[in-house]
Amino acid sequence: MLFSALAQAAVPSVPVQIEQAARAELERQMAASGLTEPQIEVAVVAARPTPPCSQPVAVEAADTRSPQRMRYVARCLDTPGWRYDYVVRARVSAMVAIAVAPVAANEALTDAQVTIERRDISNIADPISNPADAVGQMSRRMLRPGDILRSGQLSSPVLVKRGDAVTMVARRDGIEVSMAGEALDAGGKGAVVRVRNAGSGQVVRMRVAGPGTVEPVDMEISH
């Protein structure tokens, strides 16, 4: 009896288990996203005591899409058992890229327009961590100083236009071969476009490597 009571006392309360599960899930999400120096604050809303349970309480995630409103379920598998729903609110911050100067729509960002700061990203789905990833990209809308830069609002500038004469470059084992071609699609860096070989007339899919330059899609992306 004494050992049983001590064991029960050593088990964290259900709200604490919920908080631990939510924190672990958010840490997993932050690691997967590659965010820099993430910090997480977690609070269980209206945490209430639960009835006794003779076995470990099962904690399950019901909805973890938004840190600002995560839902968890606690179940006691006794007969009869019980089930309680919990809401968890979290605040997540990280070092992210932000605009430090106005940026017009369809304007390519420069080094001088981008920096990195710690910001609350609890309701930001796709923040950019590395300012270098934003430089050279074009904003789909006007940005104001202080705006967090997001992947979804940036696009690669068009480096190859439909009908452009392009150079098809292939490199393997230190050997480089180049051929003339015609772009049949438009695309920014990294985009896959159709290209007609000027010599053979064959149409192949190539990846845009730079202004007027394309390369085979199976080549390692050049930087």
Burial of residue 143 (number of CB atoms within 10 Å: 0-12, 13-18, 19+): buried
Gap between the Cα atoms of 205 and 182, Å rounded: 12
**CATH code where residue 165 lies:** 2.30.30.760
Instruction: Domain count for the chain, please give it.
Output: 3
Same domain, 33 and 109: no
Same domain for 87 and 12? yes
CB atoms within 10 A of CB 94: 22
Tokens linked to 118 = 């710690």
Find where tokens 């071969």 sit: 177
Give domain status of residue 223, yes or no.
no
Which of 136, 155, 174 represents a domain boundary (last residue)?
155
DSSP for 162-205, please give it: TT-EEEEEEEETTEEEEEEEEESS-EETT-EEEEEETTT--EEE
* Residue 202 structural domain: 158-216
Query: Would you say 157 and 164 are in contact if contact means Cβ atoms under 8 Å apart?
Result: no
Do 48 and 20 have their domain in common? yes
Q: Note down pLDDT in tens along the chain; length 223 residues.
A: 444 444 444 578 999 999 999 999 999 998 888 888 999 999 999 877 888 999 899 999 999 999 999 999 999 999 889 999 999 999 999 999 999 999 998 888 999 999 999 999 999 889 999 999 999 888 888 999 999 999 888 988 888 999 999 999 988 888 888 999 999 998 888 889 999 999 899 999 999 988 899 999 876 544 4
pTM of the model: 0.66
> Is the domain of 48 the same as that of 105?
no
Indicate if 81 and 7 belong to the same structural domain.
yes
Residue 221 lies in a domain: no
Q: Peptide bond preceding 15: is omega within 30 degrees of 0, i.e. cis? A: no
Whether residues 18 and 100 fall in one domain: no
Closest C-alpha to 183, from 222, 213, 138, 217: 213
